[in-house]
Amino acid sequence: MKESGKNYKRIVVKIGSSLFYSDNNNVDFSVFNSVAKQIADLAKAGREMVVVSSGAIALGMRALGLRERPKELYLLQAAAAVGQNEVIWNYRNIFDSMGHHGAQVLLTWDDFNDHKRYLNAKNTLFALLKYGVIPIINENDTVSTEEIKFGDNDRLSALVSKLVSADILIILSDVDGLLDENKNVIHEVPEITPKIKALTSSTDKKTSVGGMITKIEAAKIAVDSGVPCVIANGRTPDIILSIIKQPQRQGTLFLPK
């Protein structure tokens, strides 16, 4: 089965916390700026772009002088409250400079569990896209609990893809994709089997949670909903533009059912 980037009108891009950092773990917005500019370029070309962005807790940690991710919930929420403003400020600078409006949208799992709230979120996102606005979505970490304690934005990005009936979900992190037993990138996965899941491994970083296992779980939600998903390295130059042109050539493409 071949995927054609020409059909990707509505695109959801998930940006991981690691893309806000340099190789030596110092805050560095060069990669983030490149990714955000690609998103703006695609929006200018007529694509409907939706961003699910991590980074709030990581940037909040920096502002509060925290060297490691806190374990206490109240410190996580404090970091999220400070960092969310930092995240949006950086998106706004880039999108405004390229003639686009960005909109902050904060969601919790209740927005997906309650039918009325689900429809409200869906209608709001469609209204933003209708006016050419780029939604920037994150979990409402400041008031939620389980989202911070048990997951990251990978699953949220998949649920958002289903919510807006996306044509593709692109999950960007600091990994090249799913690796096989010989540490080579698997470029195409027709089906997420137990063997595929066995290739995953967790990560233990100072600023993020999750790892490849959460990305595979997100990919499964997406493909089960008919949305192809690509896991790729956001540090690769023009990665989003490359995926849109040839999704089989960059990262790992999970084919929809």
* 8 A C-beta contact, residue 142 and residue 80: yes
Dihedral, 224, 228, 231, 233 alpha carbons, nearest 10 = -160
- Supply the pLDDT for residue 140: 81
Give the pLDDT band (50/70/90) at residue 150. very low
Checking if the pLDDT of 204 tops 90, the result is no
pLDDT digits (tens, 9 = 90+) for 34-58: 999 999 999 999 999 999 998 888 8
Average pLDDT over residues 107-135: 94
pLDDT digits (tens, 9 = 90+) for 177-193: 999 988 999 999 999 99
For 152-187, letters b (16+ CB in 10 Å) and e give: bbbbbbbbbbbbbebbbbbbbbbbbbbbeeeeebbe
* 8 A C-beta contact, residue 218 and residue 19: no
Distance CA 21, CA 39 (A): 19
Distance CA 81, CA 2 (A): 42
Give the highest mean pLDDT range of 59-68, 144-153, 225-234: 225-234
- β-partners of residue 52 are 14, 137
Q: How many CA atoms lie within 13 A of 157 on its CB side?
A: 35
Q: How far is CA 223 from the centre of its chain?
A: 16
DSSP percent split of the chain into helix, strand, coil, nearest 5: 45, 20, 35
- Supply the pLDDT for residue 136: 97
Checking if the pLDDT of 194 tops 60, the result is yes
Write down how long the chain is.
257
* Structural domain 5-254, CATH architecture: 3-Layer(aba) Sandwich (3.40)
pLDDT digits (tens, 9 = 90+) for 59-118: 898 899 888 888 888 888 899 899 999 999 999 999 999 999 999 999 988 889 899 999
